[in-house]
Amino acid sequence: MADTHRINFEPVDIEMEVSEDETILDAAFRQGIHLMHGCREGRCSACKSYMLDGDVQMDDYSTFACNDSEEAEGYVLLCRTYAYSDCEIELLNFDEDELLGGAPIQDVRTKVAGIEPLTRDIVSLKLDVVEPEALEFKAGQYVDLFIPGTDEKRSFSLATTPSTPDRLEFVIKKYPNGLFAGMLEDGLSVGDEIMINGPYGSCCLRNGHVLPIVCIGGGAGMAPLLSLLRHISETGLNRTVHFYYGARTAADLFYLDEIAALGEKLDNFEFIACLSESADQAPGGVTVAEGNVTDIVDAGESDLARTEVYFCGPPPMVDAALALAEQHSVPRDQIFYDKFTSPAFD
Ligand SMILES: Cc1cc2nc3c(=O)[nH]c(=O)nc-3n(C[C@H](O)[C@H](O)[C@H](O)COP(=O)(O)OP(=O)(O)OC[C@H]3O[C@@H](n4cnc5c(N)ncnc54)[C@H](O)[C@@H]3O)c2cc1C
Ligand code: FES
Query: What CATH number should be reported for the domain holding residue 142?
Result: 2.40.30.10
Residue 231 has pLDDT above 60, yes or no: yes
Q: Whose CA is nearest to atom 20 of ligand 1?
A: 342
Residue 166 has pLDDT above 70, yes or no: yes
**CB of 201 closer than 6 angstroms to any ligand 2 atom:** no
Q: DSSP for 189-247, please give it.
A: -TT-EEEEEEEE----PPTT--S-EEEEEEGGGHHHHHHHHHHHHHHT----EEEEEEE
- Give residue 186's pLDDT: 85
Domain-embedded: residue 206: no
Query: Phi, psi (5° rounding) for residue 126?
Result: -110, 135
Could you report the per-residue pLDDT of 311-341, keeping only the tens digit for each? 999 999 999 999 999 999 999 889 999 999 8
Ligand 2 atom closest to the Cα of residue 65 is: 1
- First CA to last CA across the chain, in angstroms? 34
CA distance 25 to 44: 14
Residue 280 has pLDDT above 90, yes or no: no
Domain-embedded: residue 193: yes
**Across-strand partners of 333?**
none
Q: Do both 218 and 196 map to the same domain?
A: no
- Write down how long the chain is: 346
Domain-embedded: residue 80: yes
What is the spatial order of strands in the sheet that 75-77 belongs to? Answer: 14-19, 4-10, 87-91, 48-53, 75-77
Q: Do both 174 and 226 map to the same domain?
A: no
Could you report the per-residue pLDDT of 48-101, keeping only the tens digit for each? 999 999 999 999 999 989 999 999 999 999 999 999 999 999 999 888 878 888
Is it true that the peptide bond before 132 is cis, omega within 30 degrees of 0? yes
Ligand 2 atom closest to the Cα of residue 80 is: 2
**CB of 46 closer than 6 angstroms to any ligand 1 atom:** no
Domain-embedded: residue 205: no
Q: Does residue 84 contact residue 55 with C-beta atoms inside 8 Å?
A: yes
Ligand 2 center from residue 241 Cα (angstroms): 27
Q: Do both 184 and 231 map to the same domain?
A: no
Q: Do both 234 and 334 map to the same domain?
A: yes
CA distance 290 to 231: 29
- Express as a percent the part of the chain with pLDDT over 90: 84
CA distance 81 to 20: 10
The whole-chain average pLDDT of the chain stands at 94
Q: Do both 157 and 275 map to the same domain?
A: no
List the domain range (segments joined by +) for residue 71: 4-100
Q: Half-sphere exposure of residue 257, counting CA atoms within 13 Å on the CB side?
A: 1
Ligand 2 center from residue 38 Cα (angstroms): 5
Of the listed ligands, the closest to the CA of 37 is 2
Domain end residue (candidates: 84, 100, 116): 100
- 214 — pLDDT class (breaks 50, 70, 90): very high
Q: Do both 79 and 112 map to the same domain?
A: no
Residue 114 has pLDDT above 60, yes or no: yes
- For 129-133, what is the mean pLDDT? 96
Number of domains, the chain: 3
- 104 — pLDDT class (breaks 50, 70, 90): confident
- Give residue 2's pLDDT: 87
Q: Does residue 325 contact residue 332 with C-beta atoms inside 8 Å?
A: no
CA distance 61 to 214: 30
Query: What CATH number should be reported for the domain holding residue 77?
Result: 3.10.20.30
- For 290-295, what is the mean pLDDT? 96
- Give residue 187's pLDDT: 84
